[in-house]
Amino acid sequence: MEEFKILEVKQSVFANNDKEAEALREELKEKGVFLLNLMSSPGAGKTTTLCQTISALKSELRIGIMEADIDSDVDAHKIRKEGVKVIQLHTGGMCHLDAEMTRQGLEGLGIENLDLAILENVGNLVCPAEFDTGALANVAILSVPEGDDKPLKYPLMFQVCDVVLINKIDTMPYFDFNLEVCKENIRKRNPKAHVIPISAKTGEGMKEWTDWLREACQKGKSTEEK
């Protein structure tokens, strides 16, 4: 009997996506657009954090937002009130975006005259971390109610991130959450990650975050000009 073939499909899918992501990243650099991939579990506060971020930076940067969800356009309506370009992406049941989906989103958004494009990825701590979207920076939001052990339970999400925002710190008195333990757990997964405790509701810590993002965009522009 003839031997059957074994195809490493997952490996092939990731390899192809990585090539597409790198190509997209180079295109965005040439056009001077900084693409940020924002990830978290559902309810961690992505949209609220995004609204506060837009409010702080929209007078300085031309911003466009891609809202990704399995269904609904609730978040896009919230973002539209902030006065920036926004597009809703429906993933058709998929729990992540890959580079080709991101490219389609950027084409629908239109990146002409944009400095900063932000992808609010599907709420999930697993799938989005596995796929390179072509972003120049990955940011994860971890909220206090989720617990300080999440970096240990979902290692890849924290390994791929440049910044981790620990959100809802105003609720720490009501939860069994140790901020220093959480920071240490993040460092175990990714010593290079920049960790910023914030409250998108009260505004605490948001300046440090928006300063980081502003500087990252400026560095991206400087790299392109060289």
- Whether the Cβ atoms of residue 165 and residue 140 lie closer than 8 Å to each other: yes
Residue 103 sits at the vertex; the CA angle it makes with 226 and 9, to the nearest 5 degrees, is 110
Task: Tally DSSP H helices, then E strands, for the chain.
Answer: 9, 7
Mean pLDDT, rounded, for 89-118: 90
pLDDT tens for each residue of 118-140: 999 999 999 999 999 999 999 99
**Helix residue ranges, H only, the chain:** 9-31, 46-57, 74-80, 99-109, 127-130, 150-153, 155-159, 179-189, 206-225
pTM reported for the whole predicted model: 0.90
Q: Which residue has the higher pLDDT, 72 or 14?
A: 14
pLDDT of residue 226: 44
Instruction: Name the CATH architecture for the domain at 11-225.
Output: 3-Layer(aba) Sandwich (3.40)
pLDDT tens for each residue of 149-181: 999 999 999 999 999 999 999 999 999 999 999
